[in-house]
Structure 1
Amino acid sequence: MEAPKGRVQNLSESEQLHLKQVWAHLFQHWGIPVDSGKVLAPGARGSANASFNAGSDNKEDAKPAKKSNKLFGRFRKSSSNSSSSSSSSKADPQDRARNGSFTSRRSAESIEQMYPPGMIHDALKDLKPDEVSENFWDMLRTDYPDNLILRFLRARKWDTDKALGMIAHTLHWRLKESRPDTIIRGGELEAFHNNEKGYIKNIELCKATLHGFDLKGRPVVLVRPKLHHSSDQTEDEMKKYCLLIIEQARMFLKEPVDCATILFDLTGFSMSNMDYAPVQYLISCFEAHYPECLGHLFIHKAPWIFPPIWNIIKNWLDPVVASKIVFTKSTDDLAKYLPKKYIPKYLGGDDDYDYDSYVKPDESVDAKLKDAETRDAILKKRKVIIQSFIDATKRWIESSDTETSSKLLKTKISLSQELTENYRKLDPYIRSRSTYDVNGSLKV
């Protein structure tokens, strides 16, 4: 299967430039020395962004940036460059930078002074470099590192500044707030260990089930709102369940497929099932922290009571997410997107999978979690691959001609494949087995 455009296997020259810029800023934050002069030079920056803006239909991107919050927008120099900071302040480049992102301010003078080597992107300044680096490599799972970053760039219309702000916000969210990596590693059994009754009820009811693939090979999550009642769980338990399902769906993704499909089956839905809080939370997650991870979202068999509910929900949606929502009424409608073998029999398809049966994994399936020796050996190999990837990326950023850059990009893709294979070996030693591992439908 050929990779779609905008992935590391299929990038234009200007898209490569934006990817190099993101890596350059991440490396500077992590303390990895890199000569970023070529990718942050005024000429390169101007030509790349001009080609993007000419084709952009997002009017918001053309507006000057608002004054930055603590995780977004402006830039600062590292402490090692404090002397150069004072000398350059006479030209007042920082004041000019504050009035707009670099994509809306093209002055060669201001850009040149804003981006000397060693400068740290302001979006990253409140995050600890070691924590950010560790979390970035941890959150990959089977993703290619470049393709993970490219999701954020595509979501922000190839605006490097905005993509970095989004990445920083997501890393802060993963590290300090919702901690989805802890949730997926603990898995379903963690809910039982902690006796989180509402969380357990969601799991046992199978409100959301991962089963089958759509016609584009994307994993399908079947959600049945008729099983939901807000009183069954706390808000925190509902959020944990949402993140468990999202992160489990990520486990099903295999290159070049990088998004999932959600089928909201509203069969039997009534007003007693309506709960706006989880809907808002899911929308915010996909828009802010899992960009470009949603293929289609089907709303199937919406009852007559649904239109006023939809009138409220649609106002919360980003236009990109809204464009992926499809209303379906019949089996034939679904069959345009899903093979019949993965459409449940009760919806007129051929799939006789039991969506109401949950089998709790036995504790014995997690025996490998106790094998620290094997885990550490795999992690040691992983560190070597990561270092090789970093070295190749540095050379790629610093490359002076297209041929060298192309060769190094192929090296990076090969190392990404090694990272994916390494994670497949590591996975049973760090992640509790889910019902999907046990029934064989999930093969990492």
Structure 2
Amino acid sequence: MSVEVAKGRVQTLTQDEELHLKQVWAYLFQHWGVQVNSASVFASETAGSGQSGSSGGNKNAEEKPAKKSGKLFGRFRKSSSNSSAAKSSRESNGAVPASSQRSTEPSEGARSHGTVHEALKNLKPDEISENFWDMLRSDYPDNLILRFLRARKWDTDKALGMIAHTLEWRLKEGHPDSIIRGGEQAAYQNNETGYIKNLELSKATQRGFDLHGRPIVLVRPRLHHSSDQTEEEMKKYCLLIIEQARMFLKEPVDSATILFDLTGFSMSNMDYTPVQYLISCFEAHYPECLGHLFIHKAPWIFPPIWNIIKNWLDPVVASKIVFTKNASDLAKYVPMKYIPSYLGGEDEYDFDSFKRPDESADVKLKDTKTRDSILEKRKSIIQQFIDSTKNWIESQNDEESKKWLETKISISKELSENYRELDPYIRSRSVYDINGTLKV
């Protein structure tokens, strides 16, 4: 299926959007200790303002201490080559829960060349740099950052505050990289009974693609009871599902579709805690990742529940919710071959067929020699990307900037291919790897 590249991606940037992307990279490099002459991207009085309203300092920076965390990749703090001689709604989707926010006075000249951005000041450069590269799957680094810029309506400061908060959350609180790498096997190895029950019930299943090529996650709330798991186990399961959905994304597709099948749903299944957690995750840490959210066959008891939930939603997220009643409604968005047969479609997949992946499928996890070799190659590719990004930031004219942007896109493709090679050496095989539906 041929998918058109949407607006606001690295392949389709306007000149103004490109400037904001340069600003974010300049701030990240300043924090990481990568030497870059970024004066030109902050030179104009209108740089970072206009539609974005960006100004000195970040008023939405997140203040949380970072902590040390073992990472697969080395530190990328200084470039190994010389740069070119020329060189929401709640603000938008991606809002951060109020309990996680703080307000700061903008530091004088915070947008000046060489100044560490307010949003990053309380975070440790080495671990934040490492975590950024860890967060990538097969997505391009620029398109990952652009999710946050789009979510914050191209406000550089607010996007950077959101990025900083997400990187800190991934390191200290959510640990989604550890969850996806451990996969289903980790639940069994750690004897997390509630987590295991969620897996074996297949409350959420990655299956098929919508008409825009987005992977579909089928969720069956009728299988859920709050007493089946602890809150921590519920959070781990939610993050596993989100991160597994990310594994199915292939450029230029950068969002997933969720189908909440409310067939057989009753009040005994209602649990607001996971709903609030999912909303918080999508809005604060996975911006622009939701294509559509279908609420299918909502029973007569659902409207009062919906009246509560919709008040928690960012308007942009709420606009992506579609209520459907039958297969014909779904077929406007999803090919019949990917609509489950029990819902009137053509997919005969048994959604109750979960089996624990065989540990023998993880033999490559023990091959540390090959893993380290691929990681060394990855470090080299990342350094090439950093060097090209420096040259792009320092470009003195549109022609030079375009040349370096094209170079960055080419290197991003190479980085994606490197991740596909690396994946089986760092991530336990999931049920989707075993049944062949996931092709990283």
**Structure-1-length-normalised TM-score:** 0.87
Match of 2:71 in 1: none
For the residue of structure 1 that corresponds to 2:49, the secondary structure is helix
Encode CA deviations 1:351-394: one digit per residue, 9 max, x unaligned.
00110110211010000000000000000000000000000000
Bigger Rg over Cα: 1
- Once residues 257 and 161 of structure 1 are traced to their aligned partners in structure 2, the CA distance between those partners, rounded to angstroms, is 26
Q: How does 1:380-419 map to 2 (within 5 A)?
A: 380-419=376-415
Aligned residues: CA RMSD: 1.9
Match of 1:40 in 2: 42
Name the structure with the higher helix share.
1
Match of 1:15 in 2: 17
Question: Structure 1 residue 115 and structure 2 residue 111: aligned?
Answer: yes
Higher relative contact order (CA 8 A, sep 6+): 2
In structure 2, relative to structure 1, the CA distance for the partners of 1:259 and 1:274 (3 Å cut) is same
Match of 1:439 in 2: 435
Displacement of 1:330 after TM fit?
1.1
**Aligned equivalent of 1:126, options 118, 122, 125:** 122
Q: How does 1:51-62 map to 2 (within 5 A)?
A: 51-52=51-52
Q: Percent identity?
A: 74
- Once residues 23 and 430 of structure 1 are traced to their aligned partners in structure 2, the CA distance between those partners, rounded to angstroms, is 27
Q: Is the Cα–Cα contact under 8 Å of residues 183 and 429 in structure 2 kept in the other structure?
A: yes
Match of 1:201 in 2: 197
Q: How does 1:8-157 map to 2 (within 5 A)?
A: 8-45=10-47, 49-52=49-52, 70=63, 113-157=109-153
Match of 1:318 in 2: 314
Question: Structure 1 residue 182 and structure 2 residue 155: aligned?
Answer: no
Q: Is the Cα–Cα contact under 8 Å of residues 191 and 200 in structure 1 kept in the other structure?
A: yes
Amino acid at match of 1:409: L
In structure 2, relative to structure 1, the CA distance for the partners of 1:50 and 1:67 (3 Å cut) is closer
- Once residues 50 and 117 of structure 2 are traced to their aligned partners in structure 1, the CA distance between those partners, rounded to angstroms, is 21
Q: Is the Cα–Cα contact under 8 Å of residues 300 and 329 in structure 1 kept in the other structure?
A: yes
Displacement of 1:2 after TM fit?
2.5
Displacement of 1:99 after TM fit?
5.9
Question: Structure 1 residue 355 and structure 2 residue 357: aligned?
Answer: no
Q: Is the Cα–Cα contact under 8 Å of residues 71 and 124 in structure 1 kept in the other structure?
A: no
- Once residues 272 and 71 of structure 1 are traced to their aligned partners in structure 2, the CA distance between those partners, rounded to angstroms, is 37
Match of 1:2 in 2: 4
Q: Which moved more, 1:145-154 or 1:124-133?
A: 124-133
- Once residues 147 and 113 of structure 2 are traced to their aligned partners in structure 1, the CA distance between those partners, rounded to angstroms, is 26
In structure 2, relative to structure 1, the CA distance for the partners of 1:138 and 1:230 (3 Å cut) is same
For the residue of structure 2 that corresponds to 1:350, the secondary structure is coil
**Structure-2-length-normalised TM-score:** 0.88
Displacement of 1:71 after TM fit?
5.8
Encode CA deviations 1:246-305: one digit per residue, 9 max, x unaligned.
000000000000000000000000000000000000000000000000000000000000
Q: Is the Cα–Cα contact under 8 Å of residues 221 and 261 in structure 1 kept in the other structure?
A: yes
Q: Is the Cα–Cα contact under 8 Å of residues 62 and 164 in structure 2 kept in the other structure?
A: no
Amino acid at match of 1:198: G
Amino acid at match of 2:29: F
For the residue of structure 2 that corresponds to 1:42, the secondary structure is coil
Q: Is the Cα–Cα contact under 8 Å of residues 340 and 347 in structure 2 kept in the other structure?
A: yes
- Once residues 135 and 59 of structure 2 are traced to their aligned partners in structure 1, the CA distance between those partners, rounded to angstroms, is 30
Structure 2 residues without counterparts, runs of 5 or longer = 66-102
